[in-house]
Amino acid sequence: MENPFKYGGIVRGPHFADRKEELGELVQEMDNLSRVFLISPRRFGKTCLLFNLIERLNDIGFATAYLDLNAHPDVKSLAAGLTHLTSMALESNFEKLLKVFSGLQRLRPKVSVGQDGSIMGTVEVAHGYKEALPALLEGMQNAESLAQKKGVKLVIIIDEFSDLPKYDGQTLEKAMRSEIQHHEHVGYIFSGSEQSVMLAMARDKKRAFYKLGRLMNLGPIDRGTYSEFIYDWFQKGGYKVERQYLEKILKLGEDVPYNIQRLCHTAWELAREAGEVTPSFIEESTTVIVQQDSPHFELLWRTASQQQKMLLIALSKDPDAKPFSKDFQLTHGIGPSSSINASLESLNRKGILFKTLEGSYQFSDIFMKHWISRFT
């Protein structure tokens, strides 16, 4: 049987664990055409949740458009992407779609032939970069009026939304906000993992998106439900497994779905021949993953200064440590607090650590923590 524990991409259908409550809540919010800021640390499953939501929304007759800001390096590309995806979601007839595009002032239709010979209608910004922001706004207006005309609820999902300030900051944000405020046929979900950036965008009075919508924090999947999901798959695969061992996987993975999927995926392969998931296979899974990812960790490690390396070693040994305490600094021979602070900030920028909302620093990837603690 094929390994049912998928990781790294979009996980759907029977391979997607739980999230029933969150899905129900988001469907409800989108039925009310609300605006939601979906926030969680990295690899908690926001993108997977959104793709499963899209399926659900399409089933009940909503039109949906998913945009990932990572895929759009500039406003010009964002304007074209948003206009294209929202129009396509609302108009499936090719001729009519081209007509919609032709009616736009700042964007113009572009017909291209796909690899399979099929003809595709897309859109591009008409005049250079200067026109990019008005083109984006026109694309958004077009989405609203098309949704109204079709009598369909449209949901626009913008993923990696914490990247928005990368464009031209405040001007764009303000213009987008005033456009979104007028929309009566479109629901919005803004999703992002830079928690502090997302919170600042939605909660800071001086920022354009202040109180534009509600915040939804995506937490870990409930342990009981996740462990049932894992148990069922191992059973289906003919493996012998005890529920108590699954708790170990959830703990090792620190409740991050990506980590848990990866541990289960690896344990499935290791235990294939034995047909039984034992604690030693679970232990071994961590070792295997650490080995698989070690080239990546080595590259990251090389970017760290000596002081940063010492700090990482100390944190890998004692994850609950308080780096600013005298005790910690004496034990590990590092300090003073000002340089520790600079190191933590730098490691945060490099993506090796992340700052929790409570202000502590944790490893972005728990397997890197294991990698460090194994070689030191």
Residues that bind ligand ATP (CB under 6 A): 6-9, 11, 16-19, 40, 42-48, 193, 221, 257-258, 261
Q: Which one of ligand ATP, Mg ion, none interacts with residue 11, CB within 5 to 8 A by kind?
A: ligand ATP
Q: Which one of ligand ATP, Mg ion, none interacts with residue 150, CB within 5 to 8 A by kind?
A: none
94-153: which residues touch Mg ion (CB under 5 A)?
A: none
Both structure tokens of 371: 């990698």
Closest CB to ligand ATP among residues 209, 233 = 233
Contacts of 20 (CB under 8 A, 6+ apart): none
Closest CB to ligand ATP among residues 7, 328 = 7
Of all residues in the shown chain, the one whose CB is closest to ligand ATP is: 45
Q: Which one of Mg ion, ligand ATP, none interacts with residue 6, CB within 5 to 8 A by kind?
A: ligand ATP
The span from the CA of 367 to the CA of 247, in Å, is: 18
- Give min distance, CB of 139 to ligand ATP, in A: 24
Closest CB to ligand ATP among residues 40, 308 = 40
Closest CB to Mg ion among residues 47, 52 = 47
Closest CB to ligand ATP among residues 107, 157 = 157
Q: Is 47 in the site for Mg ion (CB under 5 A)?
A: yes
Dump the DSSP string for 27-71: HHHHHTT-EEEEE-STTSSHHHHHHHHHHHHHHTT-EEEEEEGGG
DSSP secondary-structure letter at 213?
A: S
- Give min distance, CB of 189 to Mg ion, in A: 12
Closest CB to Mg ion among residues 48, 271 = 48
Q: Which one of Mg ion, ligand ATP, none interacts with residue 258, CB within 5 to 8 A by kind?
A: ligand ATP
Q: Which one of ligand ATP, Mg ion, none interacts with residue 42, CB within 5 to 8 A by kind?
A: ligand ATP
Contacts of 287 (CB under 8 A, 6+ apart): 374
For helices 306-317 and 366-375, the axis angle rounded to 10 degrees is 100
Q: Which one of ligand ATP, Mg ion, none interacts with residue 13, CB within 5 to 8 A by kind?
A: none
- Give min distance, CB of 54 to Mg ion, in A: 14
DSSP secondary-structure letter at 160?
A: S
Phi, psi of 353 (to 5 degrees): -115, 160
Q: Interacting stretch for Mg ion, rule CB under 5 A, among 41-49, 112-120, 137-145, 338-346?
A: 41-49
- Give min distance, CB of 149 to ligand ATP, in A: 33
Tell me whether the omega of the peptide bond preceding residue 4 falls within 30 degrees of 0, making it cis.
no
- Give min distance, CB of 253 to ligand ATP, in A: 10
- Spell out the alpha helix ranges (H) of 151-278: 170-181, 195-203, 223-236, 243-252, 257-270
Dump the DSSP string for 122-140: EEEESSTGGGHHHHHHHHH
The span from the CA of 136 to the CA of 162, in Å, is: 18
Closest CB to Mg ion among residues 44, 328 = 44
Q: To which residue do tokens 């699954």 refer?
A: 246
Closest CB to ligand ATP among residues 18, 255 = 18
- Give min distance, CB of 128 to ligand ATP, in A: 32
Residue type, 275: G
Q: How many residues are present in the chain? A: 376
Helix (H, G, I), strand (E, B) or coil at 167: coil
- Give min distance, CB of 373 to ligand ATP, in A: 23
- Give min distance, CB of 10 to ligand ATP, in A: 7
Both structure tokens of 229: 């999901």
Which residues sit at the interface with Mg ion, rule CB under 5 A?
Answer: 46-47
